Amino acid sequence: MSNRAWMPLHIADYLADTGHLTATEHGAYLLLIMHYWQNGSLPENERVIARIAKLSPEQWEESREMLAMLFGPGWTHKRIDAELSKADEIIEKRRAAAESRYSKGKKDTSDANAMHGQSKCSDTGVPPLTDNHSSSLRSQDARAPDFDQFWEVYPNKVGEPAARKAFSKAAVRATVDEIIAGARAYAGKTDDRQWCNPATWLSEDRWKDQPAKPPDKPSAPRPGTNGLSHLQKFQSREEYLAAEKARAERSFR
């Protein structure tokens, strides 16, 4: 049985070979060749073949001859058999190449371990590179609790792996307390700007920022003034009537 999740479909050849099929027969034929590809053949029992093709007994009786024209004796398929043989050859070549790489990798690892053992026993006084590498890893592990403190304070928790790397580098340029204090101040900002990515914030030494205070927002207009209260002068009823009377007298002069 083929363990392959895909199969080659040569569209031009397919359309040339199946031009006489109905839509139902197209679907049945595709189901049959997909089953053939996965299993290497079709069953001998034609009732089972009809079920694979999702055809009723009546439909099978009507379409059997048209479908059989696309297969060889015993419902064999020469084109699919050739494609399966080609695919099996490719799989075998890839398997052999993988085994060769695996064997070579094991040999290289064994040689590296032997060289490492010799270097530890030598009298040169030069420490092995693997020890330096492990000490670097230990220093990064030592900063993990400090990063956790920073991460708890920082408001925009995105891209944690990149932030960890940036924090390790930032901890060389400043103390952990300075970084965390800056993050705490940044978390308390009151303006409506978007939060900065934590890796960018650390890489740009943003804990040193001293942002200006955002401008005060203008107060909302008083109801009924349309925002023009500073242009309007309040009049009493008596003042209004007097002004209207004076205006009327001027109009009759």
| Structure confidence at residue 245 (pLDDT) | 78
User: 214-245: per-residue pLDDT in tens?
Assistant: 666 666 666 555 555 555 566 677 887 788 87
For residue 155, being part of any structural domain is answered with: yes
Residues 95 and 62 in one domain: yes
Boundary of a domain, candidates 103, 126, 149: 126
> 96 and 144: one domain?
no
Flag whether 85 is in a domain.
yes
Same domain, 44 and 74: yes
- CA-CA distances (angstroms) from residue 126 to 25, 82, 121, 164, 230? 76, 61, 11, 31, 83
Residue 34: exposure state from Cβ atoms within 10 A (0-12, 13-18, ≥19): middle
Answer yes or no: is 69 within a domain.
yes
**174: containing domain:** 139-208
* Residue 116 and residue 151 in one domain: no
DSSP for 187-238 reads HT--S-PPPPPHHHHHHTTGGG--PPPPPPPPPPPPTTSTT-GGG-----HH
Position 253 in a domain: no
pLDDT digits (tens, 9 = 90+) for 132-179: 555 444 455 556 788 888 998 898 888 889 999 999 899 899 999 999
Do 112 and 24 share a domain, yes or no?
A: yes
pLDDT above 90 covers what percent of the chain?
Answer: 37
The Cα 180–Cα 204 span in angstroms is 15
In a domain, 228, yes or no: no
Same domain, 168 and 90: no
Asked whether the predicted pLDDT for residue 98 surpasses 70, the reply is yes
The pLDDT of residue 87 is: 84
Higher-scoring residue by pLDDT: 108, 61? 61
Are residues 76 and 195 located together in one domain of the fold? no
Both tokens of 79, joined, read 């084109």
Residue 146 pLDDT: 86
Same domain, 96 and 11: yes
Q: Are residues 89 and 15 in the same domain?
A: yes
Structural domains of the chain, count: 2
Looking up tokens 């024209």 gives 69
Specify the pLDDT at position 121.
Answer: 47
Q: Are residues 118 and 178 in the same domain?
A: no
Within a domain: residue 8? yes
Query: Which residue, 84, 100, 126, sits at the end of a domain?
Result: 126
Secondary structure (3-state) at 22: coil
